[in-house]
Amino acid sequence: MAPPPAPAPAQPTDAATNKEFVHPSAKHARKQAIKNTFAIEPISAFYIFLTANAIAALFSPIQDCDETFNYWEPTHYLSHGYGLQTWEYSPDYAIRSWLYVGLHAIVGNFRRLLPRSNKVAEFYFVRYALAFVCAFCQTLMWKAICLALNARVGLFFIMALVFSPGNFHSSAAYLPSSFAMYMSMLGAAAFINWRGGIKTSQGMFWFAVGGVFGWPFAIALCAPFVFEEGLLALFSDKERFFEAAIRVFRGVVATFVLVFFDVAINTFFYHKVEAVSWNIVKYNIFSKTGGPDLYGTEPWDFYFKNLALNFNAWFILALLSLPLFLLQKLFSRTTETFQSGLRTVVFLSPFYMWLAIFSLEPHKEERFMYPAYPFLALNTALAMHMLLAAFGKADPKTLVGKIPGKLKLFTVTAAVMLFISIGLARVWGIYSAYSAPLSLYSPLSTVGLPGDSVCFGKEWYRFPSSYFLPRDMHAKFVRSEFRGLLPGEFSEARTGFGLFSGTWLPTMGLNDRNEEDMGKYVDLKTCMFLVDTQYPEQEKRPGWKPPPNEPDYIADTEHWEEVKCVPFLDAANTPFLARALWVPDLSIVPERFRRRWGRHCLLRQRRGT
């Protein structure tokens, strides 16, 4: 933190009014003192972001089975020659980019060159790389905020991100929406910081990278910034209008170049020309088979509830940011220009726009909000800045001005610490409740043999990826009560088929209608290992019986023996508060607030059964 400037000399007073006369230079010095009070060195900000992201990389459970089956498994195929294949990677549909997956495979393969390499180490190495990239992007956006606004807004931006469960989920997640979030921060940094000139083409380029290589819908987040460029150009002279048009044109050309590069890479893998970005848009918007709605729909308020859990009061402040700004403009006497006011509205717009668009979509998932998380944090920071500016007024004629300064400081500090504590309580609660799948498979390296199968029934969606299985040990599925489409396997044909034949050879049993394919199941007797979860509280219910295709394998000690069991939260029987936040498992905690536990187990088939 930079040292505060020397105090300004005592000012003369106006004898007629008996009021202190403040020279303009002294006013500037005071503003600079406030600014310096909240200043952080860029390297310090980077280390703060990196620490939070590295913790997420190490401890965050996989939130969505799409991350496993649509990204970790194809990456495992590229690196190790086998893995599970979803319908999205079938050449019949081609709505997943091999360029995006291939970049991560290169990072994982680099870990194989280092000492003590194994597949689990590759998994975490990729996660750490994502954490590093995310921290770098966060730092650049933070720096742009500090330069364009002030250091206090930048400090609140850091706090709203690093102490939020949302950042814990998204910063090191191997998902296109997380990648789009990284690129959105780079794009926003370019648009926000006008020092050295307007950087519209650079900002458009980064948003395009996130959209073309990651998730195409994230390109929409740059719309407010491009609108600002266009609006200002309309009110400028011909020369500036032409300059603005050139900047936008360069951004459009850069986008087409990225699309061409993505098409070229995917053409190599699919063995036919495929524009994956367009395929994604076509499936999600123009699909005739039901599109993403086949995988579930949610009410309009889903994201409001989800963001309230993952950002608690920071989310409320983000929602209030635009009303607070309009109130400030209405009642304050600032000499802010139209352009600076417009810039603030533009900064606040992406989060509102994104929340509105996706709240109207029937199919909703938490990861769809990831690209907007940095903008949520920016809105929160601006709202905090405006509230503190109003709360910090010292005019004794106002009600706020009569509150003692120490009481104000205590109130603000207590509120911020409460927000942080709630966020950390949720982070620890998520880790302690759901991290079992990341620690379950370690015994396989000693008790398993190449060629053994690890089978999954009702727990298929908790499988963390083949990176946690020893070499040449495959994941298989046995039938459960689930009636949707499970992944198949990439073809492992090599002789005569060239490189990565599994990416382009015709597939069987894959469809875009989420229809069950019986060919995805194996006989239980072929499973040397099985993963299952047992919930004692559920089994205590009078008259409860397991579904026909989901017996309690853990209790079947005649056929299965426990290799390893790890506690796993019984969410169905745990009260909401204990699911949402960490609650200690102590006897002093009332029964109605306690967490209920099950066991997530790796089982081995008994010989001769």
For every residue of 398-465, DSSP letters joined together read STGGGS-HHHHHHHHHHHHHHHHHHHHHHHHHHHHHH-GGGTS-TTHHHH--TT-EEEESTTGGG---
% pLDDT > 70, the chain: 92
Question: pLDDT tens, 243-272?
Answer: 999 999 999 999 999 999 999 999 999 999
Token pair in block for residue 94: 């081609």
Residue 83's nearest CA partner among 64, 65, 70 is 70
Tell me if 175 sits within 8 A of 64, measured CB to CB.
yes
454 φ/ψ angles, rounded to the nearest 5 degrees: -110, 115
pLDDT at 448: 85
% pLDDT > 90, the chain: 78
The average pLDDT across 457-465 equals 96
Q: What is the chain's mean pLDDT, rounded?
A: 90
Task: Name the CA dihedral angle for 27, 33, 35, 39, rounded to a multiple of 10 degrees.
Answer: 170
pLDDT at 25: 43
Residue 144's nearest CA partner among 103, 191, 104 is 191
Q: Which residues contact 106 (CB under 8 A, 6 or more apart)?
A: none
Q: Which residues contact 382 (CB under 8 A, 6 or more apart)?
A: 149, 153, 321, 325, 344, 347, 348
Burial (0-12, 13-18, 19+ Cβ within 10 Å), 209: buried
d(CA 456, CA 162): 35
Could you tell me which residue, 517 or 341, shows the higher pLDDT? 517
Q: Which residues contact 395 (CB under 8 A, 6 or more apart)?
A: 401
pLDDT at 400: 74
The average pLDDT across 300-327 equals 96
Residue 537's nearest CA partner among 498, 583, 568 is 568
pLDDT at 499: 86
Question: pLDDT tens, 321-338?
Answer: 999 999 988 877 665 665
Question: pLDDT tens, 210-250?
Answer: 999 999 999 999 999 999 999 988 888 888 899 999 999 99
Tell me if 369 sits within 8 A of 354, measured CB to CB.
yes
Question: pLDDT tens, 485-509?
Answer: 999 999 998 877 888 999 999 999 9
- Binned at pLDDT 50, 70 and 90, residue 22 comes out as very low
By mean pLDDT, which of 95-104, 190-199, 465-474 is the weakest? 190-199
Question: pLDDT tens, 530-572?
Answer: 999 999 988 888 888 889 999 999 999 999 999 999 999 999 9
d(CA 199, CA 248): 10
- Binned at pLDDT 50, 70 and 90, residue 23 comes out as very low
* pTM of the entire predicted model: 0.91
Q: Which neighbouring-strand residues pair with 477?
A: 456, 521
d(CA 187, CA 609): 60
Token pair in block for residue 23: 């020279």
In the chain, the amino acid numbered 225 is: F
**Residue 34: pLDDT over 60:** no
Q: Which neighbouring-strand residues pair with 454?
A: 475, 529
pLDDT at 15: 38
The average pLDDT across 436-443 equals 96
- Binned at pLDDT 50, 70 and 90, residue 599 comes out as very high
Residue 603's nearest CA partner among 462, 489, 486, 447 is 447
Question: pLDDT tens, 45-68?
Answer: 999 999 999 999 999 999 999 999
Chain-centroid distance of CA 557 in Å reads 41
Composition of the chain by helix, strand, coil, percent to 5: 60, 5, 35
Report the b/e string of 575-600 with b at 16+ CB within 10 A: eeebbbbbbeeeeeeeeeebbbbbbb
Token pair in block for residue 128: 């750490």
**Residue 313: pLDDT over 90:** yes
pLDDT at 398: 72
**Residue 464: pLDDT over 60:** yes
- Quickly count: other Cβ atoms within 10 Å of residue 274's Cβ: 21
Secondary structure element (H or E) that encloses residue 512, with its range: none
